[in-house]
Amino acid sequence: MSRFSMALMAAVAGFVLVAAPVGAEPLKKAAPKRVCMVNDTLFPKDQIPVVVDGKTYFGCCEMCKGRLATDEAIRYAKDPVSGKTVDKATAVIGARPDGKVLYFESEKTFKAFHPKS
């Protein structure tokens, strides 16, 4: 196989991986209080609330609680549909079947990600 063919296959595979997330898997809405916003993981019980500048974030342990309070960057994520930066405290949160979560700027982008959600 030529280098060109291998490069073309890699480029196509990369495109498929980038294009695949929209609609790729079902999401269910997650209650913010059940999400560790440091690990971006849904838990079966309420997490530790952390209030920063009047907004409430949630962490699963004391270390996460500390990071949320001191590391501004950890309190934000990118909406997978719009690409905009989203504050985790105000985001619409969708949980994948494996428990990992995604943050959306609005109900509209949440539904655009997977219309059946």
pLDDT of residue 14: 41
Residue 37 predicted with pLDDT over 90:
yes
Structure token digits, residue 56: 């409430």
Q: Is there a contact between 100 and 41 (Cβ–Cβ < 8 Å)?
A: yes
Structure-block tokens of residue 55 = 């907004």
Catalogue the E-assigned strands of the chain.
28-29, 35-36, 41-42, 48-52, 55-59, 76-78, 85-87, 92-95, 101-104
**pLDDT for 2 beyond 80:** no
Closest CA to 52 of 76, 31, 35: 76
Contact 22, 82 (CB under 8 A): no
Cβ atoms 77, 86 nearer than 8 A: yes
For 97-115, write each residue's pLDDT tens digit: 999 999 999 999 999 997 6
